[in-house]
Amino acid sequence: MRELKRGMRVVDEEEGRRMLKIGEVSRRSGVGVEALRFYEKSGLLERPSRTYAGYRVYGREVLDRLAFIKQAQALGFSLEEIRRIIEDARKGQSPCEEVREIVRRRMEELDERLRELQRHRRELKATLEEWDKVGRAPGHVCGLIEGSDIGHAHHDRAEGLKRGKRGG
Amino acid sequence: MRELKRGMRVVDEEEGRRMLKIGEVSRRSGVGVEALRFYEKSGLLERPSRTYAGYRVYGREVLDRLAFIKQAQALGFSLEEIRRIIEDARKGQSPCEEVREIVRRRMEELDERLRELQRHRRELKATLEEWDKVGRAPGHVCGLIEGSDIGHAHHDRAEGLKRGKRGG
DNA sequence: GTTGACTCTGTAGTCGAGTCCAGGGTTTAT
DNA sequence: ATAAACCCTGGACTCGACTACAGAGTCAAC
């Protein structure tokens, strides 16, 4: 089907910059065809142009966008946050203060989470050491649950830890 | 309904140790009635005895169990892991080596996650600083996504970071 | 002209840790 | 006698980031 009917807006494949079909984008980016369509639906990727048959065709710049998305994800951003960043980036031409603000906030959250995890680590370690001492005591079901520190947790501490449990 | 029909196994409320109905357990533990039933279904709590009318009645020891669960959760264990720990604790009477093993493994994972997050933090910081420098450059859509470091991420690094993305 | 790889849409399912609800029955206080 | 507060079951829903599938159309190769 090479002759173009009117209304045909297929982007030319011969014109120097080669266009990519979704499978190739997937292979090159490592992002999975279904995920690509999902990203499009979620507003992370612009709707690409289509071949006459309805196939998506992407320019190479989508690979940069996907690399950006992956990196942002790796940095701990949710897709929704990434979507907002991209959106802001498109409309706010000047200093993109909002974007930096998101990153700043995110970093603060990350710091908080880090502090928490370090505390958890210390508690785990203490628990292990406790168990190494207590473990051999007879008369308990196991000496761990009933006997150990963590079996009789201080309520306020547990509460404090729980606050930060926003799924990542 | 005080006269007991045959088959009645209601645990006596007068017998010194007072039994708790689910609402009271909830209030005392801070765990939420629905969550308590959910824990029961998930094998984290033994099935409690029932009143003749079918109401759950718990002994005070359930509060210890719940404190344990909460603390373990705060330490980063999933309910499934906690379930396994409790199960192991019940059947493995001697040194509960498995239990300690789980905790040890968990701590290693936590260490890994901590290292990752610290790396993320450093990258975020670098990105922010990069943006502070690049942000004012004209000619970009925003100077952030297209212009910044993270827009052209090294693939291998992104992959490396992604591996650890087990939701938490 | 037919295989086989690819693509499309749309919907449903996954996981974890619950929450919420409908439509009942029970207990307690007035 | 009746309202309020509690309890029961079973099932649906939530969120995030996908993945899987059904059923159909398209494209390149032989």
What is the DSSP secondary-structure string of A20-36? EEHHHHHHHHT--HHHH
- Selecting from A72, A128, A151 the residue whose C-beta is nearest the C-beta of B64 gives A151
Most confident of the following: A88-97, A132-141, A156-165: A88-97
Q: What is the mean pLDDT of residues A54-61?
A: 95
Q: Do B96 and A70 touch (CB under 8 A)?
A: no
φ and ψ of A49, to 5 deg: -70, 170
Query: Which pLDDT band, with edges at 50, 70 and 90, does B96 fall under?
Result: low
| Bases of chain D with protein Cβ within 7 A | 6-9, 11, 15-21, 25-27
pLDDT bracket for residue A135 (50, 70, 90):
low
Round and report the angstrom distance from CA (A15) to C1' (D27). Answer: 21
More confident residue, B155 or A132: A132
Identify the top-confidence range among A8-17, A65-74, A120-129, B153-162.
Answer: A65-74
pLDDT higher than threshold 60 for residue A146: no
Which pLDDT band, with edges at 50, 70 and 90, does A96 fall under? Answer: low
pLDDT at B86: 84
Q: What is the pLDDT of residue A121?
A: 72
Q: CA-CA distances (angstroms) from residue A98 to A79, A93, A105, B80, B139? A: 17, 11, 10, 40, 19
Higher per-residue confidence, B28 vs B112: B28
Please tell me which residue, A132 or B30, carries the higher pLDDT value.
B30
Contact A142 B99 (CB under 8 A): yes
The CA distance from A17 to A59, in Å, is 8
Cross-strand pairs, B49: B57
Whole-number Å distance, CA A103 to C1' D30?
55
Task: Please state which of the ranges A22-26, A39-43, B4-8 shows the lowest mean pLDDT.
Answer: B4-8
Element (DSSP H or E) covering residue B57: strand B56-58
CA of B20, C1' of D10: distance in angstroms: 24
**Using one digit for the tens of pLDDT, what is the confidence trace for B9-51?**
444 444 446 899 999 999 999 999 999 999 999 999 999 999 9
* Maximum mean pLDDT: which of A32-41, A97-106, B17-26: A32-41
Q: Which of A93, A92, A88 lies closest to A103, judged by CA?
A: A88
Which nucleotide has the shortest C1'-to-CA distance from A78? D16
Higher per-residue pLDDT: A85 or A146: A85
pLDDT reported for residue B118: 74
**CB contact (8 A) between residue B152 and residue A64:** yes
